[in-house]
């Protein structure tokens, strides 16, 4: 173990448009799964603190929700949370989906690409207004031409909000070690804030809810819009060493309940099985998981759910 007088520790915030790959990057940097990754954008609803070790430095990674133009109360809380995470950090990385950004400029660009580019412009404008300089990380570079990447890098640098640029693939790991070493150098001297073998600073009942929510979206991402939430209503340590976990999946409309249940309850059974398997591995002990599905048109106005995720209800 590193001598305390040589230790460094601090916070690194990863900001970016939804689906830029922030959760994948946090998981890659920590070497474990601390943030859910799905095909849906806006799946991270609260700052997950992943803990990465690099030499004598401990990097606490704040995986912020994607920054986008907010429309609902939940949107406003997520965006406020993202900027809050950035404001409190020792170093900030702006992650951009390079492939999507390039595609947005062409005629064949999809609506999602254009939205991502607009969200990126919103972030750049906010950074300019705040007088902030941050690290730029161009993500998803796999298979992209080098001259295309260099042109994008130059155009971004011209905005004046970036101190340096890294080209990475969070999925394959290309370039991530260099970025990790840069973050380590940015950490201020001081004792580590967490045990060396700890990888996440997330209340277990919150992480359990996030794991189940990931399974919901993995299974029904086509049919179900962003109208579901998962709350861990009970988490009990049993005398035999196992854990009993009770959760509620909330949907907004009665018509969405059968989607989550599936024919003969098969979809919910799959969600429960996959979530239990992952929780059993994560907790390293048997898990008894009980999930119910409830219809609540106003779940997005639930103060209790906001509190579970550490979001500010009154934004």
pTM over 0.85: no
In the predicted model, is pLDDT for residue 308 greater than 60? no
Is residue 73 exposed (0-12), middle (13-18) or buried (19+ Cβ within 10 Å)? middle
Q: How confident is the model at residue 284 (pLDDT cuts 50, 70, 90)?
A: confident
Q: How far apart are CA 200 and CA 219, in angstroms?
A: 26
Question: Would you state the pLDDT for residue 93?
Answer: 92
DSSP letters along 12-55, please? EEEEESTTSSHHHHHHHHHTS--S---SSSS---S-EEEEEEET
Q: What percent of the chain shows pLDDT beyond 70? A: 72
Q: How confident is the model at residue 273 (pLDDT cuts 50, 70, 90)?
A: very high
CB count within 10 Å of CB 146 equals 9
* Average pLDDT of the segment spanning 239-251: 88
Mean pLDDT of the chain: 78
CB count within 10 Å of CB 12 equals 27
Q: How far apart are CA 95 and CA 30, in angstroms?
A: 17
Question: Would you state the pLDDT for residue 189?
Answer: 94
| Domain ranges, ordered by start, for the chain | 4-186, 204-308
Contacts of 225 (CB under 8 A, 6+ apart): none
* 8 A C-beta contact, residue 95 and residue 119: no
* Average pLDDT of the segment spanning 32-57: 63
227 vs 219 pLDDT, higher one: 219
192: which DSSP letter?
Answer: -
Contacts of 171 (CB under 8 A, 6+ apart): 21, 24, 28, 140, 142
In the predicted model, is pLDDT for residue 44 greater than 70? no
Strand partners of residue 243:
237, 287
What values do phi and psi take at 162, rounded to 5?
-115, 135
In the predicted model, is pLDDT for residue 39 greater than 50? no
Nearest to 182, CA basis, from 57, 17, 63: 57
Question: Would you state the pLDDT for residue 236?
Answer: 82
Question: Would you state the pLDDT for residue 264?
Answer: 92
In the predicted model, is pLDDT for residue 38 greater than 60? no
Strands 287-295 and 243-251: parallel
Q: Which helix (H) or strand (E) holds 81?
A: helix 73-87
Question: Would you state the pLDDT for residue 304?
Answer: 52
End-to-end CA distance of the chain: 42
In the predicted model, is pLDDT for residue 175 greater than 90? yes
* Average pLDDT of the segment spanning 225-233: 74
Question: Would you state the pLDDT for residue 14?
Answer: 86
Nearest to 97, CA basis, from 178, 21, 177: 21
Q: Which helix (H) or strand (E) holds 175?
A: none
Question: Would you state the pLDDT for residue 136?
Answer: 94
Over its C-alpha atoms, the chain yields an Rg (Å, rounded) of: 20
* Average pLDDT of the segment spanning 101-111: 65
240: which DSSP letter?
Answer: T
Q: Which tokens hold the place of 41? A: 């954008």
Q: What is the CATH number that goes with domain 4-186?
A: 3.40.50.300
* Average pLDDT of the segment spanning 63-81: 53
* Average pLDDT of the segment spanning 156-181: 93
Residue 97's alpha-carbon distances to 17, 85, 283, in angstroms, are 8, 20, 33
One CATH from 3.40.630.40, 3.30.300.20, 3.30.2350.10, 3.90.1150.10 for 204-308 = 3.30.300.20
* Average pLDDT of the segment spanning 194-222: 75
Question: Would you state the pLDDT for residue 186?
Answer: 94
Could you tell me if residue 173 is left (phi over 0), alpha (psi between -120 and 50 degrees) or otherwise beta?
A: left
Same CATH fold, 204-308 and 4-186?
Answer: no
Question: Would you state the pLDDT for residue 139?
Answer: 93
């Amino acid at each position: 173990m590193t001598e305390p007088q040589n230790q460094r520790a601090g916070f690194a915030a990863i900001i970016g448009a939804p689906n830029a790959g922030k959760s994948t990057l946090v998981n890659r940097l920590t070497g474990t799964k601390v943030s859910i990754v799905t095909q849906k954008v806006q799946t991270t609803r609260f700052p997950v603190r992943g803990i990465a070790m690099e030499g004598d430095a401990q990097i606490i990674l704040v995986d912020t929700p994607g920054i986008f133009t907010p429309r609902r109360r939940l949107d406003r809380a997520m965006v406020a949370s993202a900027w809050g995470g950035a404001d409190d950090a020792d170093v900030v990385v702006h992650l951009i989906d390079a492939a999507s950004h390039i595609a947005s400029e062409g005629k064949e660009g999809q609506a999602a690409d254009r939205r991502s580019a607009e969200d990126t412009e919103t972030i750049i404008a906010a950074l300019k207004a705040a007088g902030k300089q941050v690290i730029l990380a161009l993500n998803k570079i796999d298979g992209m031409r080098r001259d295309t990447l260099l042109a994008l890098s130059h155009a971004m640098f011209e905005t004046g909000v970036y101190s340096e640029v890294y080209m990475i693939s969070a999925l394959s790991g290309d370039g991530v070690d260099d970025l990790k070493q840069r973050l380590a150098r940015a950490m201020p001297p001081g004792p580590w804030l967490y045990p060396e073998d700890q990888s996440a600073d997330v209340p277990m009942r919150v992480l359990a809810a996030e794991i189940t929510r990931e399974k919901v979206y993995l299974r029904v991402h086509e049919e179900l819009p962003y109208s579901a939430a998962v709350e861990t209503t009970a988490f009990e340590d049993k005398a035999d060493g196992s854990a009993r976990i009770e959760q509620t999946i909330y949907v907004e409309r009665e018509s969405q309940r059968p989607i989550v249940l599936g024919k003969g309850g098969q979809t919910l059974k799959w969600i429960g099985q996959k979530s239990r398997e992952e929780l059993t591995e994560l907790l390293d002990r048997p898990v008894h998981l009980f999930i119910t599905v409830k219809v609540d048109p106003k779940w997005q106005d639930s103060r209790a759910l906001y509190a579970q995720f550490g979001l500010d209800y009154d934004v």
